[in-house]
Structure 1
Amino acid sequence: MLGLVGCSPAQGRVLLLTICAAGIGGTFQFGYNLSIINAPTLHIQEFTNETWQTRTGQPLPDHLVLLVWSLIVSLYPLGGLLGALLAGPLAVTLGRKKSLLVNNVFVLAAAALFALFGFSRRAGSFEMIMLGRLLVGISAGVGMNVQPMYLGESAPKELRGAVAMTSAIFTAVGLVMGQVVGLRELLGGPQAWPLLLASCLVPGALQLASLPLLPESPRYLLIDCGDPAACRAALWARGPLESRGGSAKRPQLRPAKIQYAAIGTGGCELLATLLSCLAIERAGRRVLLTGGYGLMTCWGSVFTVALCLQGSFSWTPYLAMACIFAFILSFGIGPAGVTGILATELFDQMARPAAYMVCGALMWTMLFLVGLVFPFLVEGLSHFIYVPFLCVCVCAAVYSGIFLPETRGKSFVEISEELHRLNFPGRSRGPAWAGPEVVRSTEL
């Protein structure tokens, strides 16, 4: 892929290393920590009940055990919300690369908590799990915002979409890796699950060892720092083209099999994001986003019908499982990766950190609410649990199909001008306009 834009082998290697170093401690951590909490669900609930019984002499009622578990799950997106609010100021003050490096402080602190909890289980404190999940959530919130910003600003225009899509790929890889490591045969057993939670230390250490050797975002160095020399030094990693002038669980599945089915769903998302990475510069952002939401609506509707009929026909469980895989594929090909690129492309250099902060805050708030209320929604809505999500998919498909401008193959200046035309029809700023994205003769 790198050869298509004329990168030398050395430049291609640096760009690839930048993608990997940013991803392993960024969106990989998001996907990994999102999935590893599923494996020890029963172990954590049992530990919570035992701890409460040791403290008070009475077992915790089932509904309160479920509430504590929901809080443990929900503290991760709550931390993500805090991290998203922190990402903007960090990215402006420290820069993109240093923000990713400093972000690992939260991972190290969380891993230390989980490790301490694992080696001293007699401490009997499920609050340590809560605090650790909050810290890894903060790290994920910062990484989810800063990584695509860093990669989007460091990539050549011709590869910007594909490079930015790697954020979604690392999320999918993290999901799959978390599901694999969480198998009972590995770290998902009744004794090893604290080490499973502490394993977030490994990708954090890998990023700390590799990212300092790689360049900062050239756009940040030139526009935010006003350092042309540092910008030129960083541009060598981007290839010669950039120097040109221009302008629900199935009851039929046994518990022992569910963990392997989860790995299958994670593998589907990984495959879908890889396909999206190949298609995004051909099909465009709007087509993938609108089509992805549309397909998710279709598969979700069929899945709901299959759930309602699963007691009437023997083949409905297989249809429901097929819809799950198709839904995940549709999500991975469209919204999973494309949404992370749009904030980079639709906002200029000055507004981009704030835009990522707002988008991240909204995403993590919704994830927090879903994690908190989903167990209770399952009990209340039963087979119709996905109907509220289908309404969101329909609205998103209609909105992106009508209002979203296509950004494929366009410079930031061209995208800004097109947005101006959409907001103010017939009032083009013209070729003489020079905003913050026009920097001499370099297409940044």
Structure 2
Amino acid sequence: MAGGAMVSTGPIKNYSGGMTAFVFVTCFVAASGGLIFGYDIGISGGVTSMNEFLEKFFPSVYKKMSAETNKSSQYCKFDSQLLTTFTSSLYIAALVASFFASAITRVFGRKLSMLIGGTVFLVGAIINGLASNVAMLIIGRLLLGVGVGFGNQSVPVYLSEMAPSKLRGALNMGFQLAITIGILVANLVNYGTSQMKQNGWRWSLAIAAVPAVIMTAGSLLLPDTPNSLLERGHMEKAKSMLEKIRGTSDVDDEFQDLMDATEHSKKVEHPWKNILQRRYRPQLILTILIPFFQQFTGINVIMFYAPVLFKTLGFGDNASLMSAVITGLVNVFATLVSIFTVDKYGRRFLFLEGGVQMIVCQIIVGVVIGLKFGVSGDGTLSQGYANLVLVMICLYVAAFAWSWGPLGWLVPSEIFPLEIRSAGQAINVSVNMFFTFVIAQLFLTLLCHMKFGLFFFFAAWEIIMTIFIYFFMPETKNVPIEEISRVWKQHWFWGKYIPDEAITGGIQLPGKTV
């Protein structure tokens, strides 16, 4: 074995206890933090396709859209940097906030980060609902971004630490399920408010206060995780909490491992410096590439701009919003598929199957739009081809929803040891938010210039990321979160980065011995 002496062998530890009603309720409440992120993703695209909103805040886009004055390509009708800044400004704020959230999560616990996130998001929703100019819109969006940054940093970590190892994938994906429900609710709200004669957009933006209140109230009711309690020196409370969430008093083995991990964590004074060490190289690379790849699936082209995209493709106002509702429903149900399969079939299988399905769907959509709209973008889609595009987009959304969507949050939250977990999750959130910002800011311009080739652009990235997962992503299902280093040690490529002292007790996996 490269890199040192032989490591002792032994099975992965199988701790006592399992799913309890307390854990289920706790994780359900915590996962509701995903509602704020999902609602925001879904609401912005619908609002930016509403004529009243565009006429008030972005009159140049409204004029370009009107049939009398629009001489430009269909692909370019919505191309406005100011309009995309309304959508994308949130994600820069979330990027910056995630680093502050990392320190607060580590020092004061996961609950406080959720509380801050929900409260600031609530203020942003109120400002957006009352907006009278673009400046108020952007300020509100920035505050929403701070809320998203804190929520996305703390919730996945909280879920991974509370869940028993054999159900960690399913419970952690509750966060992604909440995101998809938030998107669906936002699409339904947009469809309803678009029927209002005036101020429909205000209601769409202001109703974001509802998921914010749910997250804020939920954070006040949640218990701390045993990991968080140990980090802050509350040993007895931590053991009592572990017994409560596992439903048994036989938790000595797991508690000892948590204590060992905590003692090691306390010796790490500078997690941001330590995360750059060679021993954490595999986790660091994956926690950068997975959120990067997640955004370059092109999913946010659909989720941010579904109504705009469908409207561009010739769907009417109501039809475009209803099509967004349909994709939102597909998103929710496909995420449920992932919840019930991730701990059975594993992370790698879902990554690979979802990747292949997305590639096929993107290519078909690109070919249809290319043939029917052409380079000039002055063509039209017949009912049959419009339905084909909608079906392919639904299949694409389904593939993302049971693969890169939930796994993009699950895998980075479970692969780091405790001493750098908060820092690792902050990197995951910040990379995700940065490239979400890039895609949100550039999509309408890319659509204008690349036209139907944009779908081939994203398909090419999906090919790259699927190949990467096949060769470099180890399977982490059913492995206790504090023993995850063993999985890296047995990997054909990453094993050389993991020192022997990082492994305690050894590991024997099917067909592999380290």
- TM-score band by shorter chain is 0.7 to 0.9
1:46 equivalent to 2:55? Answer: yes
- Relative to structure 1, the CA distance from residue 65 to residue 264 in structure 2 (aligned partners, 3 Å threshold; closer, same or farther) is closer
Residue pair 1:183, 1:189 contacting (<8 A) in 2 also: no
Distance, in Å, in 2 between the alignment partners of 1:269 and 1:200 is 20
Deviations 1:377-414 (A, max 9, x none): 11111111222211221111111111111011111343
Equivalent residue runs for 1:378-393 within 5 Å: 378-393=447-462
Aligned to 1:220: 228
1:433 equivalent to 2:504? Answer: yes
Distance, in Å, in 2 between the alignment partners of 1:103 and 1:226 is 25
Aligned to 2:11: none
Alignment partner for residue 402 of structure 2, among 324, 327, 333? 333
Aligned to 1:76: 90
- Aligned residue for 1:372, secondary structure, equals helix
- Relative to structure 1, the CA distance from residue 50 to residue 307 in structure 2 (aligned partners, 3 Å threshold; closer, same or farther) is closer
- Relative to structure 1, the CA distance from residue 202 to residue 185 in structure 2 (aligned partners, 3 Å threshold; closer, same or farther) is closer
Distance, in Å, in 1 between the alignment partners of 2:138 and 2:445 is 20
Deviation at 1:51, TM superposition (A): 11
1:178 equivalent to 2:186? Answer: yes
Aligned to 1:439: none
1:34 equivalent to 2:38? Answer: no
Distance, in Å, in 2 between the alignment partners of 1:177 and 1:373 is 26
- Relative to structure 1, the CA distance from residue 322 to residue 116 in structure 2 (aligned partners, 3 Å threshold; closer, same or farther) is closer
Residue pair 1:290, 1:396 contacting (<8 A) in 2 also: no
Equivalent residue runs for 1:257-406 within 5 Å: 257-310=319-372, 315-406=384-475
Deviation at 1:233, TM superposition (A): 2.8
Aligned to 1:131: 139
Aligned to 1:238: 245
- Relative to structure 1, the CA distance from residue 210 to residue 66 in structure 2 (aligned partners, 3 Å threshold; closer, same or farther) is same
Deviations 1:217-237 (A, max 9, x none): 111212x12322111232244
Deviation at 1:137, TM superposition (A): 1.4
Aligned to 1:154: 162
- Relative to structure 1, the CA distance from residue 255 to residue 6 in structure 2 (aligned partners, 3 Å threshold; closer, same or farther) is same
Q: How many residues align?
A: 411
- Relative to structure 1, the CA distance from residue 408 to residue 50 in structure 2 (aligned partners, 3 Å threshold; closer, same or farther) is closer
Aligned to 1:23: 31
Structure 2: runs of 5 or more not aligned: 1-15, 62-75, 258-308, 374-378, 507-514
Aligned to 1:89: 103
Residue pair 1:187, 1:195 contacting (<8 A) in 2 also: no
Deviation at 1:420, TM superposition (A): 2.9
1:109 equivalent to 2:123? Answer: yes
TM-score, normalised to structure 2, is 0.74
Deviation at 1:331, TM superposition (A): 0.3
Aligned residue identity for 1:403: F
Aligned residue identity for 1:196: S
Residue pair 2:153, 2:425 contacting (<8 A) in 1 also: yes
Q: CA RMSD in A?
A: 2.9
Deviation at 1:366, TM superposition (A): 0.9
Residue pair 1:188, 1:196 contacting (<8 A) in 2 also: no
- Relative to structure 1, the CA distance from residue 382 to residue 263 in structure 2 (aligned partners, 3 Å threshold; closer, same or farther) is same
Structure 1: runs of 5 or more not aligned: 53-61, 118-123, 436-444
- Greater shift in the superposed pair: 355-364 or 266-275: 355-364
1:143 equivalent to 2:151? Answer: yes
Distance, in Å, in 2 between the alignment partners of 1:194 and 1:298 is 38
- Relative to structure 1, the CA distance from residue 50 to residue 433 in structure 2 (aligned partners, 3 Å threshold; closer, same or farther) is closer
Residue pair 2:79, 2:444 contacting (<8 A) in 1 also: no
Residue pair 1:181, 1:187 contacting (<8 A) in 2 also: no
Distance, in Å, in 2 between the alignment partners of 1:200 and 1:351 is 33
Residue pair 1:33, 1:200 contacting (<8 A) in 2 also: yes
Aligned residue identity for 1:238: I
Distance, in Å, in 1 between the alignment partners of 2:224 and 2:323 is 40
Aligned residue identity for 2:401: G
- Greater shift in the superposed pair: 81-90 or 147-156: 81-90
- Greater shift in the superposed pair: 139-148 or 315-324: 315-324
Q: Percent identity?
A: 22
Distance, in Å, in 2 between the alignment partners of 1:189 and 1:163 is 42
- Relative to structure 1, the CA distance from residue 427 to residue 140 in structure 2 (aligned partners, 3 Å threshold; closer, same or farther) is closer
Residue pair 1:91, 1:146 contacting (<8 A) in 2 also: yes
Residue pair 2:418, 2:482 contacting (<8 A) in 1 also: no
